[in-house]
Structure 1
């Protein structure tokens, strides 16, 4: 599972409308038949129109300044292993979204009218998408780039020859292009992966737009708060403040496992990510101490993410700092692809 929480940000000041973001989330519906369209939903409603989402989010911004975010974006991306556990991607992800938004609410160290925050205090809308495309920052695109550069150069030379600006053998250049296309290290369905290529397999994920203000439009609720959980005196009263991201990510992972009976391997857990960041030695020690069957699954997960498995230390003596530093870069990729993000 990979979950991110991002503040709305469009330039120096924050946009006063959620229109652009909602339009972006509607892109996958273009050209689809009515029965195939994915609608927005919230805790209690389905098939919510995009215009209604914009209206509800934009009208719920009382007393927010221009340089304050009006909403936050939460992206929930289950791993391929987690997606295989779902019976129906759309309906199951709706169920899961509604579960983690309860977790989101209880992760605020706040009270409204003397009562802890519940999901009914959160104004949010969510949408499920089933496609992803490769970005320029993806490993596959980056490692294919040298081949892309040479192919582009050859194509430019062919055009120059056709316009009599350069001399050369077009047939020979086309043969070179075909060879480079085939030699690019990352292919999908027999074609070189480039930026914009649709990723194969189940790519279902959830986008959630959540208002900065509570449902009554009176209290500001920021998951981006620097305060984890604390109390402060304001106007002579003790006020609770803060959002515990660590608690939210832990609860979100647990909610998935309980809801779908998912048996999570250490290598894909949020705990493993924290161990890896804070104490790499503990991470590798725990990895090596797993039961044989679980260790095999963990190594398989890491191998799929490009970690040099042959170099992972096999005993405690080999858990030297130098070895850990060497592996850190590769394991970090695996952690990001299989765990909840911070």
Structure 2
């Protein structure tokens, strides 16, 4: 489960309207029949028009300054293993979203009128998408880049020859291009993976736009708070503040597992991925203690996520070469971030 929470920025300031973001989320509906379209939904209703989403989010920004986010985007990307557990991606992901937003609420260390905030206190709209394309941050694109650069250079040379600016053997160059296309390490359906190519398989994921202000438009609720849980004194009163992201990400996994009876592998857990970056010794010590079948699946999951591995090092050894794995960890930080793991 990969989750990110980001404020929507436009240049130096935050977006003053959600219109562009909502319009972006409508892109998959272009050219589809009404029955095939995905609509916005929230805790209480389905098939909410995009215009209503913009109106409600934009109209819920009282006293927020230009340098403050008006809304946040939460992206929830289940893994292929998690998606395979679902019976109906569309309906099951709606069920999960509504439970997830309850977890979101309980991760705030805030009160409204002396009571903890509840699901009715937040204003959010969600939409399910079923397509993804490869981006420049994906490890497949990065690892194919050397080949992409050489192919581009050869195509430029061919164009120069065709237009009389240079001389050379075009046929030989085309053969070299075909060879490079085949040698690129990451392929899909027999073709080199390039930026913008649609990803194969079930790519269902969830986009959520949630207002910075509560439903009454009077209280600011920021999941971007630097504080997990603390109290400050304002106007002579103690006020709770903070949002616990670790708690939210952890609960998000447990809610999915409990809702759909999913048995989560060690390598899929938020805690394990966090340990991999921040404390690899603990990570690999825990990995080596797994039963053989779970350990094998863990390494498979890590490989699919773009985390570089060293097959020559036996996974059964009690002590691993930490210098090598520290180097791997640095490379994996980029892979993990490009996979949108919210840490």
Is TM (by shorter chain) over 0.5?
A: yes
Q: Give the Å deviation of 1:113.
A: 1.3
Structure 1 residues 335 and 16 mapped into 2: Cα distance closer, same or farther (>3 Å)? closer
* Equivalent position of 1:5 in the other structure: 5
Find out whether 1:224 has 2:224 as its counterpart. Answer: yes
1:114-158 Cα deviation digits (max 9, x unpaired): 111111101000111111111112221122222222222222222
Instruction: State the SS of the aligned residue for 1:310.
Output: coil
The answer on whether the counterparts of 1:307 and 1:331 sit within 8 Å (CA) in structure 2 is no
Cα distance change, pair 290–337 in 1 and its aligned pair in 2 (3 A): farther
Report 1:114-125 matches (<5 A). Answer: 114-125=114-125
Q: Deviations over 1:54-82 (max 9, x none)?
A: 00000000000111000000000001110
1:121/1:147 CA distance change after superposition, 3 Å: same
Task: Give the CA deviation at 1:334.
Answer: 7.2
Q: Distance in 2 between matches of 1:339 and 1:173?
A: 38
- CA shift, 1:172, in A, is 2.5
The alpha carbon displacement at 1:332 in A equals 4.7
- Which aligned runs of 4 or more in structure 1 are off by greater than 4 angstroms? 330-340
Supply the distance in 2 between the matched residues of 1:227 and 1:138 (Cα, whole angstroms).
31
CA offset at residue 333 of structure 1? 6.6
Rounded to whole Å, the distance in 2 between the matches of 1:172 and 1:34 is: 51
Q: Which residue of 2 aligns with 1:311?
A: 313
Which runs of structure 2 are paired with 1:138-157 in the superposition (5 Å)?
138-157=138-157
Q: Does 1:328 align with 2:329?
A: yes
Residue 131 of structure 2: aligned partner: 131
Number of the residue aligned with 2:190: 190
* 1:253 match: 253
CA contact (8 A) 2:139 2:335 kept: no
Instruction: Measure how far apart 1:303 and its partner are.
Output: 3.5
Q: How many correspondences in the alignment?
A: 341
Contact 2:277/2:329 (<8 A) preserved: no
Distance in 2 (CA, whole Å) between partners of 1:309 and 1:331 is 16
Structure 1 pair 159–315 and aligned structure 2 pair: CA distance change class (3 A): closer
1:12/1:327 CA distance change after superposition, 3 Å: closer
Which 10-residue stretch deviates more, 56-65 or 287-296?
287-296
Cα distance, 1:312 vs structure 2 = 5.4
User: How much has 1:320 moved relative to structure 2?
Assistant: 5.0
Deviations 1:60-110 (A, max 9, x none): 000001110000000000011101001111111111110010000011111
Match of 1:96 in 2: 96
1:220, distance to aligned residue in structure 2 (A): 0.3
Deviation, structure 1 residue 15: 2.2
Check whether the contact 1:229–1:241 (CA below 8 A) recurs between aligned residues.
yes
Residue 333 to residue 137, structure 1, CA distance change in 2 (3 Å): closer
Shift in alpha-carbon separation, 1:330–1:310, aligned structure 2, 3 A: farther
Deviations 1:256-305 (A, max 9, x none): 00000000111111121233234321111111111223222222222434
Secondary structure at 2:13 match in 1: coil
- Measured in 2, the distance between the counterparts of 1:110 and 1:10 equals 28
TM-score using structure 2 length: 0.94
SS at match of 1:231: strand
**Could you list the runs of 5+ residues in structure 1 that have no partner in the other structure?**
none
* Structure 2: unaligned runs, 5 residues or longer: none
Say which is worse superposed, 51-60 or 155-164, in terms of deviation: 155-164
Deviations 1:198-239 (A, max 9, x none): 111111110100000000000000001111111111111111
Match of 2:203? 203
- Backbone CA RMSD of aligned residues: 1.9
